[in-house]
Amino acid sequence: MIIIGCSHGKLAKNIAKRLKKPYSELNVRKFPDSELYLRYMKDVKGKIVVLVQSFYGQISDCIIEVLFAAKTARDLGAKKVFLIAPYFPYLRQDSRFNPGECLSIKVLSEMISDCFDKVFIIDPHLHRETDLHHLFSISSKKLTSNHYTAQYIKKNIKNPLIVGPDWESYKWARKVAEEIGCDHVILEKKRISGRKVKITLNKKINISGKNIIFVDDIISTGHTILEAAKNLRKLGAKKFICIGVHGIFVENALEKLKKANINVITTNTIPNKKAKIDISELIGKELE
């Protein structure tokens, strides 16, 4: 087996170290016209090639890169090619909301199925589509970072009250609270647009003496958490902690959250300065 770091070299390196397997980075660069150049720097013939690719930043480039890398590995004689996607994109585009729209997740999962033998995704945002097996025709497995988040909270935060900002967040908020054995509450969210949400407190919450911790999968623009905090401020809460799995942080999300007295922590599925929860063990165990 050889672990190959694409967009997330640091995580890939940690995984390789844990497994005592060889690690190599892809040599990827761009031609002046922005076409991608890609080269394996170690021989992959006869090996299981594990590509660790988190799809953040220039997502379209990440997609092309991983498809080119998988096909090239096969072409170079790899025995099998696995994809580890700490963050996998386009899962929210799982329905044709308006006539003529692209079902992006379907197209992408078909392309991945065509190029890989197996795919592992950490905390995929499965909503209307509930199972990876419906999406991928190859072997697929979802992994969750919940245990690592729960451990982090247990170790670092006293008297937690876990708050899930919307119905879908129960898969993280409730599960984490259950492992810790602490109280939790799930709020109600209505998405108005990509940048606007409305959140309501649907039940009585006692926040007295509690450290409020929002737990969600994705933090992108930060508006979901900002809006949730706005609601809890009405109850007298002043400071908040927010733990997300995938810290995408677009449009100055981190600055906005900081201004609102929200201390952000994430896992390291996407590299960022708030990634304090390491999930390399989770992936390592799957590849053992």
Site for ligand R5P in 164-193 (CB under 6 A): 165-166, 168-169
Nearer to ligand R5P, 5 or 165 (CB): 165
Min CB(124)–ligand R5P separation in Å: 11
Nearer to ligand R5P, 66 or 229 (CB): 229
Binding of ligand R5P at residue 216 (CB under 6 A)? yes
Tokens of 156: 């670092």
Binding of ligand R5P at residue 149 (CB under 6 A)? no
**Residue pair 2/21 in contact by the 8 Å Cβ criterion:** yes
**Residue pair 211/157 in contact by the 8 Å Cβ criterion:** yes
Residues counted in the chain: 288
Known catalytic residue: 190? no
User: What residues contact residue 131 under an 8 Å CB cut-off, 6+ apart?
Assistant: none
Binding of ligand R5P at residue 94 (CB under 6 A)? no
Binding of ligand R5P at residue 146 (CB under 6 A)? no
Half-sphere exposure (CA, 13 Å, Cβ side) for 69? Answer: 30
Taking CB under 6 A as the binding criterion, the range among 11-19, 73-81, 213-221, 278-286 that sits at the site for ligand R5P is 213-221
Tokens of 133: 């097996």
Query: CB 232: neighbour CB atoms within 10 A?
Result: 21
Which amino acid, 15? I
Interhelix angle 146-156/280-287, nearest 10 degrees = 140
For 226, phi then psi, to 5°, come to -60, -40
**With CB under 6 A, what is the number of residues at the site for ligand R5P?**
14
Q: What single DSSP character describes residue 144?
A: -
Binding of ligand R5P at residue 231 (CB under 6 A)? no
Please tell me the distance from the alpha carbon of residue 232 to that of residue 235, in angstroms, as a whole number: 5
Taking CB under 6 A as the binding criterion, the range among 99-107, 203-211, 220-228, 259-267 that sits at the site for ligand R5P is 220-228
Nearer to ligand R5P, 196 or 276 (CB): 196
Q: How far is CA 185 from CA 21, 94, 129, 169, 201, in A?
A: 42, 27, 24, 10, 9
Binding of ligand R5P at residue 123 (CB under 6 A)? no
Please tell me the distance from the alpha carbon of residue 106 to that of residue 121, in angstroms, as a whole number: 15
Near ligand R5P by CB under 6 A: residue from 7, 109, 211, 221: 221
Min CB(169)–ligand R5P separation in Å: 6
Nearer to ligand R5P, 180 or 219 (CB): 219
* Marked catalytic residue, from 47, 175, 189, 274: 189
Taking CB under 6 A as the binding criterion, the range among 39-47, 56-64, 176-184, 211-219 that sits at the site for ligand R5P is 211-219
Nearer to ligand R5P, 178 or 251 (CB): 251
Give the H/E segment covering residue 217: strand 211-219
**Rounded CA Rg of the chain:** 20
Nearer to ligand R5P, 59 or 76 (CB): 59
Near ligand R5P by CB under 6 A: residue from 7, 14, 224, 268: 224
Binding of ligand R5P at residue 266 (CB under 6 A)? no
| Beta strands at 160-164 and 183-186: parallel, antiparallel or unpaired | parallel
Tokens of 48: 């299981």
- Which spans of this chain sit near ligand R5P (rule: CB under 6 A)? 165-166, 168-169, 197, 216-224
- Active site (catalytic) residues: 189
